[in-house]
């Protein structure tokens, strides 16, 4: 459905930066590995915006720190990890997300409709 796809994209757009900061909590990582970590949690980037411009913005805003290091047998990669400001932003963002999610849940939970396939 086009509408639900668009809604998913818009929702993701609002929290993708938090998701990236969250997967960096598992350890420094590079671009492709981040998409793998997201996918492992059910968050596919197919049909969504790219993480690369977002990573660049996080770096420019000082929310992540980067360094270059050789990957496993591959070429040197740019690794990202959350900076102190980034960790603070993640904590704030997660709290905002949970508050928003709970409020929306309070509205939507009583709705009892079945999705027609």
Residue 53 binds to other proteins (criterion: CB under 8 A): yes
Interaction of residue 60 with other proteins, rule CB under 8 A: yes
Following DSSP, what letter does each residue of 14-55 receive, concatenated?
Answer: HHHHHHHHHHHTTS-B-HHHHHHHHHHTT---TTS--HHHHH
Q: Does 69 bind other proteins (CB under 8 A)?
A: no
Under the binding rule (CB under 8 A), the answer on residue 78 touching other proteins is yes
**Nearer Cβ to other proteins, position 27 or 32?**
32
Question: In this chain, which stretch among 38-46, 82-90, 94-102, 107-115 interacts with other proteins, using CB under 8 A?
Answer: 38-46
Burial zone of 108 (CB within 10 Å; 0-12 exposed, 13-18 middle, 19+ buried): exposed
Cross-strand partners of 66: 80
- Binding of other proteins at residue 71 (CB under 8 A)? yes
Rounded to whole angstroms, the Cα distance separating 75 from 46 reads 25
Which helix (H) or strand (E) segment is 12 a member of?
helix 2-24
Decide if residue 67 touches other proteins (CB under 8 A): no
Q: Is 75 in the site for other proteins (CB under 8 A)?
A: yes
CA 58, distance to chain mean position in Å, is 12
Minimum CB distance to other proteins, residue 7 (Å): 15
Question: Which positions lie near other proteins, rule CB under 8 A?
Answer: 30-32, 35, 39, 44-54, 56-57, 59-60, 71, 74-75, 77-78
């Amino acid at each position: 459905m086009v509408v639900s796809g668009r809604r998913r994209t818009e929702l993701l757009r609002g929290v993708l930066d938090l998701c990236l900061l969250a997967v960096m909590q598992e350890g420094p990582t590079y671009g492709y590995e981040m998409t793998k970590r997201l996918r492992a949690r059910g968050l596919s980037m197919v049909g969504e915006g790219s993480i690369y411009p977002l990573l660049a913005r996080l770096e420019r805003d000082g929310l992540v720190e980067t360094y270059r290091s050789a990957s496993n047998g591959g070429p040197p990669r740019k690794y990202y990890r959350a900076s102190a400001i980034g960790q603070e932003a993640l904590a704030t963002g997660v709290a905002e997300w949970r508050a928003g999610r709970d409020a929306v849940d309070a509205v939507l939970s009583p709705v009892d409709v079945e999705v027609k396939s």
